[in-house]
Structure 1
Amino acid sequence: MDTEKTNMILREGFLVKRGHLVHNWKARWFVLMPDKLLYYKYEGGKRDSCQRGKIQLKDCVITSPFLEYENRPLVFKLRTKNKVDHFLEACSREERDDWAADITEAVDKLRVAAGGKVMDEEDQAGSQLHINLSKVLDAMYDVHSGIKMSNHVEQGSTYSNCFSGSAVVDWLVFMQLALTRVEAMTLASALLEEGFLRTVGTRSLEGIRTAGLSEQFMDDSTALYSFSDNLKKRGSVKAETSLSAVELSGKVIKRGILLKQGHRRKNWKVRLFVLRSEPDFLHYYDPTKDDVSPVGGFSLRSCLVSSLDDNGVPTGVKGNIQGNLFKIITHTDTHYFIQAPTHQEKMDWIDAIREHS
């Protein structure tokens, strides 16, 4: 038996990978082993048994978050012993951090097994310096390397020229102005307290009212902030309301990559699904592009969701089926056939959709 198959699988799931020769992004199925990271392609609705690539973990260096790709805040970078860089993107901050933690642990174990030592935070960061808030603000405001401002949606309104709390925390950690996310929250809270940053919308304002002084800033993708009004603005914060903004304004309940069968060609495509509540909508995106503009979506009101038997191919389903199928019928009688990577993920999605339909 192949030794790679007998090794213990530490973690597996979809990640979006940047190509080496052609720098496009493609969704791949990754399998983390104790000493390597393997990746495969999904052909139609089934994982290709032919391995597409391998990343040796010995002496790898991981950078997470890696924020040099605009509009891709969920990327982390793996640099191999031979100085080859691999850029991988997860579907949520939690998943990105979990992948980074598991890979880091595997790399550390390999280093210890080879007689080395695991670098602690003090080794990596050096001595802690007193942070000048004005210098942090200048760095954040830098047009080239500062935090990126964009449009965000909250409660039916689209706010321009602002950023989320989790994006600020990511940026502070990436720029090594804070060692951990907790440190970054404390630093951002100080910027907020000094009036360098201001809240946008109601979610971030809620954080100020309910949290302690050092935790007023929220590490949350739905809490919005911008630079203070007394700064020279790169752009003013404006709110506009639209039908699509209302659809996308609900609280994100669940995110994940699933396989969806097309309505016309009946081919299977990898899609990032996002379930929101109040209003209850399920949107799906092309994970190789962005999670800003949905490819499609529908209201969960009066939806019916059901698990499909993996024995045989159900009516209406075509292609090479891996399994873990379920079906959603919308209130307009549109049928969606979806595959989850695992049985547990299928049941989790069914439960979440039923709760909000």
Structure 2
Amino acid sequence: MRRGDSAPGGLAGGDMEDGGVLKEGFLVKRGHIVHNWKARWFVLRQNTLLYYKLEGGRKVNPPKGQILLDGCTITCPCLEYENRPHLIKLKTRTSTEYFLEACSREDRDAWAFEITGAIHAGQPGKVQQLHIQRNSFKLTPHISLHGIVDKMHDSGSGIRPSPNLEQGSTYKKTFNGSSLVDWLISNSFAANRLEAVTLASMLLEENFLKPVGARSSGAVRSGDLAEQFLDDSTALYTFAESYKTKISLREDINLSTMELSGTVIKQGYLAKQGHKRKNWKVRRFVLRKEPAFLHYYDPSKALKGTSREISSK
């Protein structure tokens, strides 16, 4: 959430009124001692990142804690947790590490960009460079596509294919477009997402990768190299030599699988009131279409957790 936006769930407060807030919203934070994950309301200021507990649908003052940004380093994408692909890692001047999870790749990147700008607020030249990097493209010369593919296959640091579902069909040994873009950036093959997308398109063009399913296959047929690869969590790809045909789902497939086959059109964190106890908890909501369903998840659990249905049609 950017300055001037209204906070969800009645969470607007004094922080928005003093003009010092750069960004605020929900993130899921890993605990320091017990490494459990809990949703917190974060408020980014020029020098600090504050986080608050949630009670009764509102943030609780004073803050639960704060992260001092002076001398802080940021890692994004952070791939240290396989089942949490939308992580940001902050390391303070005293080497304390914070792991923060956003609800989507777009939300994660928006937070990372704003936090990075706050870290370098006293260096106007650095902030200007960040804006240029975010919107520019410069492909590294003499790239070895074979070297990239070899690294992708590495058992320790490579990208790990897994079964994925698209439009009611399950595909073996696949990975989504956003995960590959994250991997290319984290392994320094690309400096930004635009470079990574172009690199991935080159891997497709040279038949190192194959599209899997309707979304990614349709993009490949677009004819434009810059648009052939989709930086999207619902677009699937696989290694060319390990390509497997889809496994058609049985006719007696359960409803929950069909519910999850729809295209994701919006997702984000919201504070939801319980049906029985009327308490408030943060949930990750995902809105899909064709078929249309709105599901919510406990964000303290890994991404593969159980969902609940709110409505469908």
TM-score, scaled to structure 2? 0.85
| Residue matched to 2:175 | 163
What's the % identity of the aligned pairs?
54
| Cα separation, 1, equivalents of 2:181 and 2:20 | 34
CA contact (8 A) 2:117 2:127 kept: no
CA contact (8 A) 2:85 2:179 kept: yes
Q: Give the counterpart of 1:277 among 269, 278, 289.
A: 289
Report deviation, 1:3: 10
Report deviation, 1:215: 3.2
| Cα separation, 2, equivalents of 1:153 and 1:298 | 21
CA contact (8 A) 1:272 1:286 kept: yes
| Residue matched to 1:138 | 150
Paired AA for residue 239 in structure 1: I
With 292-301 and 39-48 compared, the bigger mean Cα shift is at 292-301
| Residue matched to 1:185 | 197
| Cα separation, 2, equivalents of 1:79 and 1:206 | 41
CA contact (8 A) 1:259 1:271 kept: yes
CA contact (8 A) 1:185 1:219 kept: yes
Q: Give the counterpart of 2:247 among 209, 224, 239.
A: 239
Paired AA for residue 108 in structure 1: H
CA contact (8 A) 1:59 1:111 kept: no
Structure 2 gap ranges (5+)? 1-13, 134-138
Paired AA for residue 58 in structure 1: D
| Cα separation, 2, equivalents of 1:213 and 1:259 | 41
Deviations 1:27-78 (A, max 9, x none): 0000001111000010243211121111111122111111111111100111
Flag the 1:50–1:32 CA change in 2: closer, same or farther, 3 A: same
Residue 40 of structure 1 pairs with residue 52 of structure 2: yes
| Residue matched to 1:92 | 104
The higher radius of gyration belongs to: 1
| Cα separation, 2, equivalents of 1:244 and 1:87 | 31
| Residue matched to 2:261 | 249
1:1-357 aligned at under 5 Å gives the runs 6=18, 8-112=20-124, 120=129, 128=140, 130-228=142-240, 230-231=241-242, 236=244, 238-241=246-249, 242=253, 243-301=255-313
Report how many residues are paired: 290
Paired AA for residue 139 in structure 1: K
For the aligned residue pairs, the C-alpha RMSD in angstroms reads 2.5
| Cα separation, 1, equivalents of 2:153 and 2:15 | 51
**Structure 2 counterpart SS, 1:163:** strand
Report deviation, 1:289: 1.1
TM-score, scaled to structure 1? 0.75
CA contact (8 A) 2:296 2:310 kept: no
Report deviation, 1:20: 1.0
Paired AA for residue 34 in structure 2: V
CA contact (8 A) 1:17 1:89 kept: yes
CA contact (8 A) 1:40 1:49 kept: yes
| Residue matched to 2:11 | none
